[in-house]
C-alpha cells in the first residue's frame, strides 16, 4: 500500500470515530482473534486424560492402560494397537479367574470353590485390580500388584485384598499352585 493511501485511510478512520472508540474496537478485535485460537469442544476432548489409579496405586481390570502393562494391577494390558490418529483401546485384563467374580472374598469367610488353571482345587478371591481370581495356595503378604507376588507364587500369582483375614497387612499373595515365601 502506498504511503499516501495509508495516510488517507487512517485519517478517514480516525475522523469518523474518536481515539477511544478506535482503541476499543482494536481491543475487541484482538480478543476475538485470541478466542479463535482456543480449542473448541471437539479438539478439547482429544487431550489425554490421566489414568485413575486405585488405592493400591495401579489400574483396575477393564480400565484403559495406554498399552503399558506396569500400570495394571494384573500386569496385563491388552487390546488392539491404535492406528495412526486413533484412540488407544488397550485395557487392563484379568487372569486365572476361572468361575470366580470380583467381590468374592474367600479370605473373609465366604468360601466359593473353583478349579485353578493348573487343575488344583481352590477358592475364589478378589484381586487388588478388582478381578475374580481362583487360587490354591498363598499367605498374607504386603503387596499392591500381582508382580509383587510372582517371586513367591510363580508367573500366574495375584495380589489379593484381604482386610480381616490378613489383619495389619490387608493383602495376601496367592497362586494357582504352591507358593514359597522367605
According to the model, what pLDDT value does residue 25 have? 56
Residue ranges of the chain with per-residue pLDDT less than 70: 1-48, 81-82
CA-closest candidate to residue 53, choices 32, 34, 71? 71
Phi and psi at 87, nearest 5°, equal -75, 140
Cα separation, 2 vs 16, in Å, equals 21
Output the CA–CA distances (angstroms, integers) from residue 14 to 7, 8, 46, 63, in the order listed: 10, 10, 45, 61
Longest dimension (CA), the chain: 96
- 0.95 exceeded by pTM: no
According to the model, what pLDDT value does residue 45 have? 52
Write out pLDDT tens, residues 129-163. 999 999 999 999 999 999 999 999 999 999 999 88
Sign of torsion over alpha carbons 147, 152, 156, 161: negative
According to the model, what pLDDT value does residue 163 have? 82
Amino acid at each position: 500500500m502506498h504511503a499516501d493511501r495509508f495516510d488517507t485511510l487512517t485519517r478517514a478512520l480516525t475522523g469518523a470515530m474518536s481515539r477511544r472508540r478506535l482503541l476499543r474496537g482494536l481491543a475487541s478485535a484482538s480478543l476475538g482473534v485470541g478466542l479463535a485460537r482456543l480449542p473448541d469442544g471437539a479438539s478439547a476432548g482429544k487431550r489425554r486424560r490421566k489414568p485413575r489409579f486405585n488405592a493400591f496405586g495401579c489400574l483396575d481390570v477393564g480400565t484403559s492402560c495406554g498399552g503399558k502393562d506396569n500400570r495394571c494391577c494384573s500386569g496385563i494390558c491388552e487390546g488392539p494397537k491404535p492406528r495412526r490418529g486413533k484412540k488407544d483401546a488397550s485395557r487392563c485384563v484379568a487372569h486365572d479367574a476361572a468361575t470366580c467374580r470380583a467381590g468374592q472374598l474367600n479370605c473373609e469367610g465366604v468360601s466359593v470353590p473353583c478349579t485353578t488353571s493348573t487343575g488344583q482345587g481352590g477358592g475364589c478371591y478378589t484381586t487388588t485390580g478388582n478381578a475374580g481370581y481362583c487360587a490354591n495356595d498363598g499367605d498374607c503378604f504386603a503387596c499392591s500388584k500381582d508382580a509383587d507376588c510372582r517371586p513367591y507364587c510363580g508367573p500366574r500369582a495375584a495380589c489379593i485384598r484381604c482386610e480381616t483375614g490378613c489383619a495389619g497387612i490387608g493383602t495376601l499373595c496367592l497362586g494357582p499352585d504352591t507358593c514359597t515365601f522367605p
